[in-house]
Structure 1
Amino acid sequence: MKIKLWINDKIYKDSIEPDMTLMDYLREKGFKSVKCGCDTTNCGLCTVYMDGKTVLSCSVPAARASGHRITTLEGVAKEAEEFARFMAKQGAEQCGYCSPGLIMNVLAMAKELNKPTEQEIKEYLAGNLCRCTGYESQYRAIRNYLAVTQANYQLFKKGEVIEGVR
């Protein structure tokens, strides 16, 4: 089966087996941020964007992704590094295995929800499993990140100068 898709704005054309998942295809292409932690669509480690929306790549047949734009953590490296600094400051990085999926979802949430409540954050991230933490340090990092980035975005919309942003 032939597929064509854009991964991080680069075109990929391949012949694949009909039962190949998008996660396996991405890993085969070298996108190691996409991980498998459960085989049951319950951990969130394989989260990527398909046409800008989060999907669990372990549950998407690669053939179904044909014709779509896929973004992995490697494709949002700058934003991911920014959030990762917030995680490090809160001691939330632990082993880091779950971080790529968590970061992909946090970045999506930051674009989708304006000033989410604690409950909305927990509901949005309910599918992200971390086996190292009790999530509190992650929630602190998320709250701090959202407060800073959403405040900067509001200033940017008003045309005000944001320190460190051009």
Structure 2
Amino acid sequence: MQNWPSWIPTPRFWVNAIALILLIIGLQYAIAYLGMIIFMLINLLPRVIFLKFIYLFSLVAQLSPIIVVAFVHHWLHRFLDNFFPESRVTETEATPGVLPSFLSWWEGLYGWSVNILSIVIASGLLGLFMPSPDLFNLLTVFKNELPHLPTISMFIQVIVAAYLYQFEYLVHQHLIAAARQ
């Protein structure tokens, strides 16, 4: 990784980007399925309590990627530390236990931010080159008129996410170098 140009993401960041996008897609399907079940259950409640539960479920659904990415990061690193100790990054220390460390929570928050930014940038770029000037119907155009467009959007999201992970790494290395001086 030392001889790699700093403006090209290394394979590590491409893997991070692809894993993040796939994890978020799986989480979106799980939230949609659980949302239908929870909606049917809380629909039996009175109207005032129903609205409060809908608000609470919406908030939890929006913040759940942070929690899921933090726990996946924590457990993946515990697995890698046990079975592949040479893959360990020297700047981080192992955190025993079930709950994620501060670094894992940071990766959860950063992963959520990377996902949101990559979706916004991909949608913005595709919106610039859409044949229809009506940006309000951008999502319906994705699904109906141009069936290959979600693949292009996913490709752009992975590229943006890899560059955002590369940016985080470069900032992290700069901060470590500045702290050592």
Rg larger in structure: 2
When you count helix as a share of all residues, which structure comes out higher?
2
When you count strand as a share of all residues, which structure comes out higher?
1
The structure with higher relative contact order (CA 8 Å, sep 6+) is: 2
Q: TM-score, normalised by structure 1?
A: 0.30
